[in-house]
Structure 1
Amino acid sequence: MLPLIIEINAPDEDISVEMAFTDSPVRIGRNPLNDVVLSQSYVSQWHALVEFDERFTCYRDLGSTNGTLYKGGRLGRDPLRVPSTRRLDVAIGDVQLGLVRAEADALLEDAQSAYSKLGSTRARMFARPAEAEPKSTVLFSIDVDPGEREEIARLVGPHRAYRRAWRQLLEATRGELARAPAAAHELLDAIVRSFPEVTREPEFIALAEAHSYRVPKAAGADACAAEAIDRFTRVYKVPAPRADADIDALFHRLSLLLETFCKSFVELRKGQQEFGAEMAVRTIKETTRLSEIETADALIEYLLDWSTRSERPIKELVNAFADQMIHQVALVNGLMEGARSLLRRVGPDAIARHFARGRPGGVAGLLMRLGLVRDAVLWRQFKVLHKELLEEEVALTAALFGRDFARGYAAIGDDSVEPTRPVVTDPLKTLPLRAGRRSRG
Structure 2
Amino acid sequence: MLPLLVRITNTQTGETEHSAFASSPVRIGRNQLNELVLNEPFVSQWHAVVRFDEHKVRYVDLGSTNGTTLAGRRLARHVQVEVDPQSDLRIGPLQLSFARAQVTPDMYAAPRTTIFSLNTAAAGEGSAVTNATMMFNPNDPATLEQHTMFLQPGQAPPPGMARPTARDQPPPSAVDMQQLFGIIEQTKPYYQQYRQAWTQVLGQLRAQLERVPGPHREAMVLVLCQQLPQLPKEPEFRQLLRTLDINPAALGEVDPAEWVARLGGQDSIPPGMQINTALAMERVGMLLESFSQAFVELRKGYEQFGEEMALQLVQDRNPLHDAQNAKDVLRYVLDWSVDGSERTRELTRAFADLALHQVALLSGVMEGIRSMLYGVSPQQLSGQRTAALAKAGGGGFLESIFNSRKAGLWKSYVDRHQSLVEEDRFSREVFGRNFARAYFMVTGGHLQGQDPSEGQYGQAPGAPQMPGYGQ
Using structure 1 for the length normalisation, give the TM-score. 0.66
Measure, in 2, the Cα distance between the counterparts of 1:44 and 1:194: 50
1:283 corresponds to 2:313: yes
Match of 2:8 in 1: 8
Match of 1:362 in 2: none
- Amino acid in structure 1 at the alignment position of 2:60: R
Match of 1:18 in 2: 18
Question: What is the correspondence of 1:16-415 to structure 2 with a 5 Å cutoff?
Answer: 16-77=16-77, 78-82=79-83, 86=85, 88-108=87-107, 118=120, 142-143=133-134, 160-166=215-221, 191-192=228-229, 227-235=254-262, 236-237=264-265, 238-239=268-269, 247-284=277-314, 286-348=316-378, 350-351=380-381, 371=400, 372-387=403-418, 389-390=420-421, 392-415=422-445
Question: Cα gap change, 1:410/1:367 in structure 2, threshold over 3 Å: closer, same or farther?
Answer: same
Question: Cα gap change, 1:143/1:348 in structure 2, threshold over 3 Å: closer, same or farther?
Answer: same
Question: Cα gap change, 1:243/1:397 in structure 2, threshold over 3 Å: closer, same or farther?
Answer: same
- Amino acid in structure 2 at the alignment position of 1:59: Y
Answer whether contact 1:281 1:414 (CA < 8 A) is retained. Answer: no
Answer whether contact 1:406 1:419 (CA < 8 A) is retained. Answer: no
Measure, in 2, the Cα distance between the counterparts of 1:158 and 1:70: 57
Answer whether contact 2:3 2:20 (CA < 8 A) is retained. Answer: yes
- Which runs of structure 1 show a deviation greater than 6 angstroms over 4 or more consecutive aligned residues? 111-117, 240-244, 352-359, 365-370
Measure, in 2, the Cα distance between the counterparts of 1:31 and 1:340: 28
Question: Cα gap change, 1:58/1:374 in structure 2, threshold over 3 Å: closer, same or farther?
Answer: same
- Amino acid in structure 2 at the alignment position of 1:99: F
Measure, in 2, the Cα distance between the counterparts of 1:314 and 1:275: 25
Measure, in 1, the Cα distance between the counterparts of 2:89 and 2:136: 25
Question: Cα gap change, 1:327/1:285 in structure 2, threshold over 3 Å: closer, same or farther?
Answer: farther
Measure, in 2, the Cα distance between the counterparts of 1:273 and 1:158: 59
- Amino acid in structure 2 at the alignment position of 1:7: R
| Shift, 1:34, TM fit | 0.8
Question: Cα gap change, 1:8/1:307 in structure 2, threshold over 3 Å: closer, same or farther?
Answer: same
Answer whether contact 2:257 2:274 (CA < 8 A) is retained. Answer: no
Answer whether contact 1:26 1:50 (CA < 8 A) is retained. Answer: yes
| Structure 2 residues without counterparts, runs of 5 or longer | 140-211, 235-250, 459-471
Query: SS of 1:19's equivalent?
Result: strand
Measure, in 1, the Cα distance between the counterparts of 2:382 and 2:111: 65
Using structure 2 for the length normalisation, give the TM-score. 0.62
| Shift, 1:374, TM fit | 3.0
Residues 312-348 of structure 1 deviation map (CA, whole Å, 9 limit, x = unaligned): 1211122122212221121122112111111122234
Match of 1:220 in 2: none
| Shift, 1:194, TM fit | 5.2
| Shift, 1:28, TM fit | 0.5
Query: SS of 1:311's equivalent?
Result: helix
| Structure 1 residues without counterparts, runs of 5 or longer | 128-138, 149-156, 174-187, 198-222, 360-364, 430-441
Question: Cα gap change, 1:38/1:119 in structure 2, threshold over 3 Å: closer, same or farther?
Answer: farther
Answer whether contact 1:282 1:414 (CA < 8 A) is retained. Answer: no
Question: Cα gap change, 1:229/1:87 in structure 2, threshold over 3 Å: closer, same or farther?
Answer: farther
Structure having the higher helix fraction is 1
| Shift, 1:285, TM fit | 5.0
